[in-house]
Structure 1
Amino acid sequence: MTKRGEQMRAEILAILRAADGAMSAYDVLNRLQASHPKIAPPTVYNALAALTKTGCVHRVESLKAYIACQCDATHQSAVLSICDECGTVEERTAPSVIETLSGFVEETGFLPQRHVVEVHGLCSSCGSGA
């Protein structure tokens, strides 16, 4: 791994950790262009892919966006709660849910490779007025 690649991943991870919500790759690209005016989209996508592979970042599939891992268990599958009102994404690990889901699909001979569990609704702040 090149030192430049490591530096780029560290910068992107810092951007995602400082964000208020999930960010698209192009949101990340726009933030990086201030300090890296010639940066190209593939650089950001490659860094996000590497960070996702290591578990430091999660791809929020339904939003086509990314968040920094919020839990200490970076290699466990996460359950993401996504607020449809304010956009907040909360992460929780739920090993028993993942095990149950895996067992359910394995009954048909399907071999799960990764899990993406997203729940849309209202966070405690947005839902308290409902």
Structure 2
Amino acid sequence: MTRKVVKRRSATEQDKLISDALRDVGRPVSAYELIDELRDKASLAPQTVYRALDRLIADGRVHRLESINAFVACRHASHEGTAVFAICSDCGTVTEFDEPAAVERLSGWARKAKFAIERMTLELRGRCRECTARAPS
């Protein structure tokens, strides 16, 4: 019985593979959807994907959308603080933007309350312009 030789990828190669896949998909996806997307290119275990996503999040190249438990590629070169996401409940489109004033107000509240922020994710849920325009009046 012969065993198939599997080439191990470095963490950098895995990160690039996953980051590129997120950009190509262009919509929020779960780790398991990423595995399916990459099935033709690589055989990845869930823990490998989650470790890569953790690294990419730490590097600011990927964001986790808490409310839908999904991941998206960062669309900004840099952020003035925390990214904000508008998520369409109808079509699933995600728009990423900065809103420094809102982030500063929340951070100010936390300072006054002596609340130590570990992570901040701001998500707006609703309908995008296109879905709102298509909706019956």
TM-score, normalised relative to structure 1: 0.91
The 5-angstrom pairing of residues 1-130 of structure 1 reads 4-37=10-43, 39-74=44-79, 76-130=81-135
Distance 1:74 1:41, change over 3 A: farther
Deviation string 1:39-83 (CA, Å, 9 cap, x unpaired) is 211110000000001110000001100000011115731110000
CA distance in 1, matches of 2:20, 2:80: 19
| Unmatched runs of 5 consecutive residues or more in structure 1 | none
Q: Distance in 2 between matches of 1:16 and 1:74?
A: 19
Secondary structure of the residue aligned to 2:42 is: coil
How many pairs are equivalent?
128
Asked whether the equivalents of residues 105 and 112 of structure 1 are also in contact (C-alpha less than 8 Å), the reply is yes
Contact 1:54 1:74 in 2 (8 A): no
CA distance in 2, matches of 1:111, 1:105: 7
Aligned-residue RMSD, C-alpha: 1.7
Report runs of 4+ in structure 1 exceeding 4 Å deviation. none
Taking the aligned partners of 1:105 and 1:74, their CA distance within structure 2 comes to 20
- Per the alignment, in what secondary structure is the counterpart of residue 118 of structure 1? strand
For 1:101 and 1:75, how far apart are their aligned partners in 2? 14
Amino-acid identity (%): 35
Structure 1 residue 3, shift from structure 2 partner: 6.5
- CA separation of 1:92/1:76 partners in 2, compared to 1, >3 Å: closer, same or farther? same
Following superposition, the deviation at residue 32 of structure 1 comes to 1.8
Question: Does the residue aligned with 1:128 lie in a helix, a strand or coil?
Answer: helix
In structure 1, what residue type is equivalent to 2:87? I
**2:3 corresponds to:** none
Gapped regions of structure 2 (runs ≥ 5): 1-7
